[in-house]
C-alpha cells in the first residue's frame, strides 16, 4: 500500500508539472482495451502476419476513445514490425513458440476481454502516438510472448544460447513531444531479469515518468552490444490514458 501511495503522489506531481495551461479542468482516464467488432476484424487468422498489412502497404489502427494510434511497418517482404492486434494465448511454448506463431502471448488469456497487442520492436520501430492531442499514459499491462519465451529461456529454434544468469531484457519507452525527435522522458520495464522471466502472466507497467507526450517509441533491449539475439516481442493490454479536459462553464 505504501508503494502504491508513493506512485500515486509521483503521478499527481507529474500531472501538475506537465500541465501547460491553467484554469479549471477535469482529469479523465480512458482505457484502450481493444475490445469490439472493429478490433476483432484486425486479428490475423494466420497467427503470424497482420491484417493491417496490405501487400507492401502498411496501415494503422486508431482507438477513438483514448485517441491512440498504432502503426504497422513492413521493413522487408514477409515480416512486420509495430503493434499488431491479437487474441492468441498459450503456455505451450514448444508448439507455439516459433516465428510462425508470433502473435501468441505467453498467458492463459488476455488481461481483460479477449484482445490485446503484440509489440514487435526488433529494429526499434514499434510506436504508439496520439492522433489529435498530447496525453499521459498512466499505465499498461504487459506479458511475454511464446516466441520470446521459447527462444530466450530455451533457445528453441534460432537463438544460439539461453539468456545468461546475469543478463536481462527490457522494454524501454521513449516519449516525444511537438513532433521533435528529442527524447523528453523514458520508462523501463523488465521482461527477463538475471536469466529468468521477470514475472508470470500479466504485470502492470506504471509509466508515471513519461509526462505528457505526442508519441512513445518502444525499444526492446538487452545486456550486451549489438542487436538483441532474442525475439524482440511483448504483449500489451489495457493502456490507461489520462487527459486534462477543460470544465465547461455553465
The answer to whether residue 3 is domain-embedded is no
What confidence score (pLDDT) does residue 81 get? 86
CA angle 73, 71, 156 (to 5 degrees): 60
**Is residue 20 in a domain?**
no
205 found inside a domain:
yes
CA 21 – CA 70 distance, rounded (Å): 27
pLDDT of amino acid 78: 62
Domain that holds residue 61: 27-242
Report pLDDT for 131.
Answer: 92
pLDDT digit string, tens, across residues 14-56: 444 444 445 687 889 999 999 999 999 999 887 776 777 665 5
Residue 2 domain flag:
no
CA nearest neighbour of 220 among 236, 200, 238: 236
What are the tens digits of pLDDT across the range 140-193? 999 999 999 999 998 877 777 888 889 999 999 999 998 889 999 999 999 999
Total count of domains within the chain:
1
What is the rounded average pLDDT of the residues 222-237? 80
- What's the CA gap between 86 and 49, in Å, rounded? 10
10 in a domain, yes or no? no
d(CA 121, CA 118): 10
**Cell for 14?**
507529474
CATH number at residue 81: 2.60.120.1350
pTM for the full model? Answer: 0.86
For the chain, the C-alpha Rg in angstroms (whole number) is: 18
Q: Collapse the DSSP code of 11 into the 3-class scheme (helix H, G, I; strand E, B; otherwise coil) and give the result.
A: helix
CA nearest to 107, candidates 95, 92, 126: 92
Max alpha carbon distance in the chain (Å)?
Answer: 66
Determine, yes or no, domain membership for 73.
yes
| Weakest mean pLDDT among 170-179, 186-195, 210-219, 238-247 | 238-247
- What is the per-residue DSSP string for 44-104? -TTSSS-TTEETTEE-EEEETTTTEEEEEE-SSTT--EEEEEE-EE-S-HHHH-SGGGTTE
Q: What is the pLDDT of residue 40?
A: 94
Q: Which residue pairs, CB below 8 angstroms and at least 24 apart, start in 38-44?
A: 39/85, 39/115, 40/87, 40/115, 42/85, 43/85, 43/86, 43/87, 43/88, 43/103, 43/115, 44/84, 44/85, 44/86, 44/103
Q: Is residue 48 part of a domain?
A: yes
Read off the DSSP letter of residue 13.
H
> Do the domain assignments include residue 89?
yes
Cα separation, 143 vs 118, in Å, equals 9
pLDDT tens-digit profile of 53-104? 665 566 789 999 999 999 888 766 667 888 999 999 999 999 999 888 989 9
User: Using CA atoms, how far apart are residues 236 and 179, in angstroms rounded to an integer?
Assistant: 24
Amino acid at each position: 500500500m505504501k508503494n502504491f501511495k508513493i506512485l500515486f503522489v509521483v503521478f499527481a506531481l507529474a500531472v501538475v508539472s506537465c500541465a501547460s495551461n491553467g484554469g479549471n479542468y477535469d482529469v479523465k482516464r480512458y482505457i484502450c482495451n481493444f475490445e469490439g467488432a472493429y478490433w476483432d476484424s484486425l486479428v490475423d487468422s494466420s497467427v503470424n502476419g497482420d491484417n493491417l498489412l496490405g501487400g507492401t502497404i502498411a496501415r494503422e489502427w486508431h482507438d477513438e476513445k483514448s485517441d491512440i494510434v498504432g502503426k504497422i511497418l513492413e521493413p522487408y517482404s514477409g515480416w512486420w514490425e509495430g503493434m499488431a492486434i491479437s487474441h492468441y494465448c498459450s503456455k505451450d511454448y514448444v508448439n507455439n513458440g516459433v516465428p510462425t506463431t508470433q502473435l501468441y502471448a505467453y498467458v492463459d488469456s488476455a488481461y481483460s476481454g479477449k484482445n490485446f497487442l503484440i509489440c514487435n520492436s526488433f529494429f526499434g520501430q514499434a510506436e504508439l502516438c496520439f492522433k489529435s492531442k498530447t496525453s499521459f499514459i498512466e499505465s499498461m499491462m504487459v506479458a511475454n510472448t511464446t516466441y520470446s519465451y521459447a527462444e530466450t529461456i530455451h533457445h528453441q529454434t534460432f537463438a544460439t544460447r539461453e539468456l545468461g544468469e546475469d543478463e536481462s531484457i527490457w522494454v524501454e519507452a521513449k516519449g516525444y513531444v511537438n513532433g521533435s525527435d528529442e527524447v523528453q522522458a523514458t520508462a523501463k520495464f523488465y521482461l527477463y531479469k538475471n536469466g529468468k522471466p521477470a514475472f508470470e502472466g500479466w504485470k502492470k507497467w506504471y509509466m508515471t515518468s513519461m509526462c505528457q507526450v505526442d508519441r512513445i517509441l518502444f525499444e526492446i533491449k538487452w545486456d550486451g552490444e549489438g542487436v538483441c539475439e532474442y525475439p524482440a516481442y511483448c504483449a500489451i493490454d489495457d493502456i490507461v490514458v489520462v487527459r486534462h479536459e477543460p470544465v465547461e462553464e455553465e
